[in-house]
Structures are given as C-alpha cells and as structure tokens.
Structure 1
Amino acid sequence: MDTVTPLKISLFANLMNAVLDPFLIFNAGMGVTGAALATLGAEVSSAVLFMIFLFKKNLIVAKKLFRMPKLEKLLPLLQGGAALQLRNFALNLTFLAVTRVTQSIDDTGVAAAAHAMAIQTFQIGGIVLLALSTVAQFVVPGEMVEKVDEVTGEKTGGLLAAKAVVNRLMTWGLLLGSALGLLQVALIPTLQKASPVMEVRQAARNPALLASLYQAFNGLVFIGEGVMVGTGSFMQLSLSTVIATFGTIMALKKLPSMYGLTGVWMSFGVFNILRLIGVYIHQNVNGPLAKSKIEEAMKAQN
C-alpha cells in the first residue's frame, strides 16, 4: 500500500492553493473569485497528478477507462454511494443551519466573527482526529479478512482480531481527543489575539471552550464512523447522521435564543453526542463487529 505518493500530491496541491490564494485575491484583485480559482487550480492539478501515477502503476487501463462496467458490479457501489451522499447531505444541512442561526444572532457581525474563531479552535484537533477516521477505514476491513501464512500455517486476522483493532483505535481516539482538547484550551488566549475587538473575544470564549471539550469524544465519533465505512455499514452511518442532524436542528430552534452563540455550540454538542450513540449501537448491538454478531458468524463457520 503506497501512502507516501498521495501525501506528496496532497501536500503539493495545498501548497499551490496557499501560493495562488494571496496572488489571485489581492495582486490580481479578483477577491472571492480568485480564491475559487486558486482552489480549482489546486484540485485540477491534484487530479492530473493522481491520474498520471495511476497510469504509471498500471492501476488504470486506458481502453477500459470509458467502458461502462457491468450492472452487477456497479450496483454495490451505487448503493454505498447513495447512502454516503445522504450522509453528506445531512452534514451540509447541519452546517448550513448552524451558519444561518449564527448570522441571525446579531446584526453587528460579532457573533459571526466569534463563531469563526471558535471554528479555528476546533480545527486544531479536529483535523488530526478526522485523519484517524481514514486510518480506521483502511485498517479495519483489512484485519477482518482471515489470512493463513503459507509457510507456518499460522492464521491471522478475522473478526476477533478486527474487533481488537477497533478497541485499540477507539482508545487512541479517546486519549488523543482528550489531549488535543487540553491543547486547544491552552491555545485559546493565543487564538483570541486574532481579533482586536474585545466583544468578539468575549463572545468566542465559551464556544471555544465547548469546541475543546467536544474533542474528548470527537475522537470516538470520527474513528467509529471510519469503522462504519470500513465494514460497509453505509446506510447505518447515513441514518445515524440524519438523526443527528434532526436533533441538531431541533436544538438550534431552542438553545441559541436562550444562550446566544454558546447555544449554537451546545447544539453542535447535540450533533456529536447523537453520532456517538450511533457509533455505540454499531459497535455493540448490530454492527458486524458487535459481540453477538461475531458469535453468530463463528457458530456459522463451525
């Protein structure tokens, strides 16, 4: 498995975006359009580089590139893709609702600016924890397959081994999330210097603290949802996100009117807690790595 080449391409694309952004936005005087063009250029360059390397490693055959696959091979991808699109729709709806409520809190722009500062605080640890989700997507399904060493005859992998890997990943998610949350709390005074407006600093403090607190279980959420993707539980993941979105929208109708911007971030907490409940159900009740499901699979094999 080549993990270095995608990293290099992603690094190049992000550096390209970082260089083009100030040039197109300010030097070329294009403003927001320049930012969009910078992102487009970086994404297109990334796509071209990926295609070049895929051809070099014979992972893509030119004559089959535009050939329609058979329906029986395409159907599982369509089903999984549709479920994940439902999840993406729910996520986007959540963030859209949060943005809308934040913008309506006041007409001065203080709440919006404070919300942006809280988001920056959240992203310090959120990006790292989100990366662990990708790790779970690759590691867990590989471990679920039982393998036999041709020389020694020793068996490795299987459902029990995959469950042990999931437990270790979840432990790391909890520990790393807690550590990153503490780091964010320590960095809040530094991040608040990004705004010279005292009202913005004061409004951002409680949301930033909540963003730090949530990291303690965000590691569990992100890794747990990565496990769902790895085990192919796409529909359950999507339904869990939809339920979390519904709960968040309900919270957004009540909490911001009582607590202002802090209420918006309390609603974020509702969103992540409901997703965590979905992760718990998947891992302990009805997922393929739940204890009862593993026992059923082992009985069926015997």
Structure 2
Amino acid sequence: MKQDMTVGNPAKALIVFAIPMILGNLFQQLYSLVDSMIVGNFIGEEALAAVGSCFAVTMLFIAVAIGASTGASVIISQLFGAKRYQEMKKAISTALISFLAFSMVWAVFGLLIKDGLLHLLNTPENIFADASTYLSIYFLSIPFLFMYNALSSIFNALGDSKTPLGFLIFSSALNIVLDLYFVIEFGMGVAGAAWATLIAQAVSAVFSFVVLMWKLKGMSAEFSEDTSSLSGWYSLPLLGTMLKVAIPSIIQQSIVSISILAVQAVVNPYGSSAVAGYAAAQKIDSVAIMPMQAVGNAMSTFTAQNIGAGKRERVLEGYRASYPMIFLINVIIWVIIRLYSVPFLGLFLKSGSESVAMQTGLDYLNLVSMTYFLLGLLMVTGSVLRGSGDIGWFMLASVMNVVSRIVCAYGLNGVIGVSAVWISVPVGWLCGYLFHFYRYRQKKWMEKKLI
C-alpha cells in the first residue's frame, strides 16, 4: 500500500511514485475530456463553448478542494515519515470529517452564485443557459469531488499512487459509458454530460473511502484507544495544524483560479468560436501538463516524508534529480503537440467547425507547448516549499504568477488581441518560478516545523 520515500535512490523514488500519478491524472482528465469531445461532436460548437466557459468557474471550486487537501497531505506525510502512525490515523479521520462538512457548504454557495459568475465573465448569451445548467449539476457533485481529492491526497501522502489510479480507470470508463448514453441515446445534451460526471465521481469517492479504511486496518496502530466517541476520531489540534497549511494553500489555489476567471473574461468577448477554440486547447493543455504536475506532487510527498524523518539533505538530492525529468518531459510533449495538434483539436471541434475556433486553439498550443518546462520548474520548486510547510512563501510566489499573468493578458490585449492570453501563461510561470527558486536557495524552508 505504502512507499517509504525516505530510503533508496531519490530519482528512482520520484519516478516510481510519479508514473502512476501521471496515469491517474490522465484518467481523471478523461472526465472533462470526454464531456467536451461528446458535446462538441454530437451537440455542436455552442454546446462545447458552454461547457468550456464553465471551466474557469469549476477550476475555482476544484482549487479549494486541492488547497484543502494539501494541508491534510503535508501533515499526514510528515507523520508517516516520522512513523507516528496513531497520530497519522487520527489526522486522516479528522481531515475526512472536515472535508465532508465543508464541501456541503461550498456546494450550496456555488449554486447561489453560479449565474452571477457567468454574467461577470461576459458569457455570450447564446451559450448562457447551457452553461448555467452544466454548473447547477456540477455543484451537486462538489461533496464527491472534495472527498475524492481528500482520499487521493491521503493515498499519495502514504506513498501509494497506485490505488487512486485503479479507481480512476474504473470511474473514467464509467463516465464514458454514461456520457454516451445520456448525451447520444437519451438526448440529454449538456445536462447529460454533467450527470455522467457526477455519477462517476460519486462512485470513485465511495470506493476510495472503503478501500482506504480497509487498508488502514492493516497498519500497526489503532485510531485511538477509545473510538466510541468523537474524540477518538477527531482532533481539533491536528485540524489546527492542517489549517496552517491548508488556508494559505486554499488562498493560493483560489488566486490562481481567479486569474483563470479573469483571463477567461479576456477571451469571451471575442465570441463563441474563439471561446470554443480556447476551450479545446485548454483540454489538450490540461493533459499535456499532467506529467509536470505528477513530478511536482511526487516532490511534495518526497519532501514531506523526508522532513518528517529528519532527512533534510535528502530533499536537496531529490530536487536536483527532478530537473532532467522536467526538461525531457517538455521535449517529448512539445514534439507530440507539434505533430498532432490539428487532429487533437479535431477531437473537440465538430467536423467543419469554423476556422476561427481551430486557429485559436492552434495559436495557443504552438506557443504554450514550448514553455511547459517553466511550469515544471515552478511546480517542483514550489513543492519543496509546500512539503516542508513553508506555505507563506509558496503562496507569495503563486500570487506573483497570477498578477504577472493578468497584467500581461490585459495589458497586451489591446495591442495584439486575444494572443495576449497565450503569452501571459509562460510569463506567469517564469515569475512564479523565480520567486520559488529564490526562497529555495535561502534554505529557510529547512527550518520549518509542523509536527
């Protein structure tokens, strides 16, 4: 079940841990990819634009789930590395109970503000109704989304990136089947794609929870001597420690998502064809960056476990080993996108789609694909800070990423048009990386103590 990343070759540990995460992220992306492919090809460009216009909104809520799960995973990883299993188990149950309660509140909040957000984003009127319908159903799935992210982060914190992969393969396959039935056979349109995603996420979350509980029973410590009361399963001090990491992470993730919202508002006035092309390119982009994200997440777990074990110098070895991985991954992805960008975009844009949509997608991919290494460097460097608990500086660097991206997109929009959005992406990554790297070189993150 678990992988101890405090021993063995650091590079091998990162690779072995990252590969299942890359595959897992790929299948997780299939949720939105399949939605967009089926919607774009069987309903039309306007429906694709409607789903695509929701991307920035859904990312804001996903960001909160990711940020909150970061707080849990860092603490659980450090307790695991320190072999304090009893506290680790109580931290797990505390995180899950808190996630469930918060996600329900967050879902209601999303339902209340969804139309206001769509108006704020200048969503074109011809796609507004479908976008609102999609978001209504999406927000019903928020508790399952939160629980799955929490469970996945717990598995990863224990060094187990294979179990979440198995569930993602199953739930992604289920999502595809339900998409085909709801959209094509039953003619449910955009709503069918949203319901398919909700059901698949629910199944994945429930199964993940059952397996985690079963596997935890095999570990050497019990949750507590007394599990008959809430105190045996829930710890306010542990929650407080997790919140020290989670709250800055939520703010950081939310700021990044708000920047996506702000940039989406730059694209929307160019019309539904430009929105559809941008949405299609973002779907490809979301798959292309997954290896970078996986290496970054692996670096976070690697850092947290070794910090917990008191092996801080080993973190430096792992960080240096991540650089060749990042550059090699970028070269491979860039070649693939250069060769197949047109057929990739064709998976989402209906045959005979307006050239504006296709050209918009190509312009985005041709520029951004060359600079994925900047995102990789940003992620692995930030993951060292995050894994050690140096969240304040991690958040500051993320703010610089966001601010520089928004300034670039809006500042150049009046000069070069919508392509300012593409240019703003690597500009933001570079600024964020430089701030992260400055802090990394200071080595003050090595002095942080959470447990």
TM over 0.5, shorter chain: yes
Q: 319, 332, 335: which one pairs with 1:179?
A: 332
Partner of 2:244: 79
Tell me whether 1:17 sits opposite 2:175 in the alignment.
yes
Secondary structure of 2:171's match? helix
Q: After superposition, where does 1:1-150 map in structure 2 within 5 Å?
A: 1=2, 2-59=160-217, 63=227, 66-67=230-231, 69-104=234-269, 106-107=270-271, 109-144=272-307
TM-score, structure 1 normalization: 0.82
The alpha carbon displacement at 1:39 in A equals: 1.7
Aligned-residue CA RMSD in angstroms?
2.7
Quote the residue 1:159 is aligned against. Answer: 312
* Superposition map of 1:269-280 within 5 A: 269-280=426-437
Q: Aligned residue for 1:228?
A: 385
Structure 1 residue runs of 5 or longer lacking an equivalent are 147-156, 295-302
Deviation at 1:65, TM superposition (A): 8.6
Q: Cα distance, 1:276 vs. partner?
A: 1.3
C-alpha change, 1:8 and 1:65, in structure 2 (3 Å) is: farther
Return the match for 1:283 from 429, 440, 443. Answer: 440
Write out per-residue CA displacement over residues 202-257 of structure 1, whole angstroms, 9 at most, x where no aligned residue. 33332211121121322212222322322222222222212221222222221122
Task: Give the aligned length.
Answer: 280
Paired residues for 1:215-294 under 5 Å: 215-288=372-445
Which residue of structure 2 lines up, in the alignment, with residue 154 of structure 1?
none
Q: For the residues of structure 1 that align with 2:345 and 2:176, how far apart are their CA atoms? A: 23
Residues 1:36 and 1:202: Cα distance change in structure 2 (over 3 Å):
closer
Percent identity reads 20
SS at match of 2:187: coil
Cα separation, 2, equivalents of 1:180 and 1:166: 21
- Asked if 1 retains the 8 angstrom alpha-carbon contact of 2:334 and 2:369, the reply is yes
Distance 1:158 1:17, change over 3 A: same
Larger radius of gyration: 1
8 Å contact kept, 2:281–2:345: no
Aligned equivalent of 2:343: 190
Task: Provide Cα deviations, 1:113-155, integer angstroms capped at 9, x if missing partner.
Answer: 2212332442342122211122112222233455xxxxxxxxx
CA contact 1:121–1:211 (8 Å) conserved in 2: no
**After the TM superposition, which parts of structure 1 deviate over 6 Å for at least 4 consecutive aligned residues?**
none
Which deviates the most, 194-203 or 210-219? 194-203
Whole-angstrom CA distance in 2 between matches of 1:23 and 1:69: 42
Structure 1's 170 and 231: CA in aligned 2 closer, same or farther, altered over 3 A?
farther
* Structure 1 CA distance for aligned equivalents of residues 444 and 322 of structure 2: 16
CA distance in 2, matches of 1:161, 1:47: 34
Q: Which amino acid aligns with 1:16?
A: L
Q: TM-score, normalised by structure 2?
A: 0.57
Q: CA deviation at 1:266?
A: 0.9
Residue 100 of structure 1, CA deviation? 1.2
Mapped to 1, the partners of 2:379 and 2:316 lie a distance apart of 17
Higher RCO, Cα 8 Å, sep 6+: 2
Runs of 5+ consecutive residues of structure 2 not aligned to the other structure:
3-159
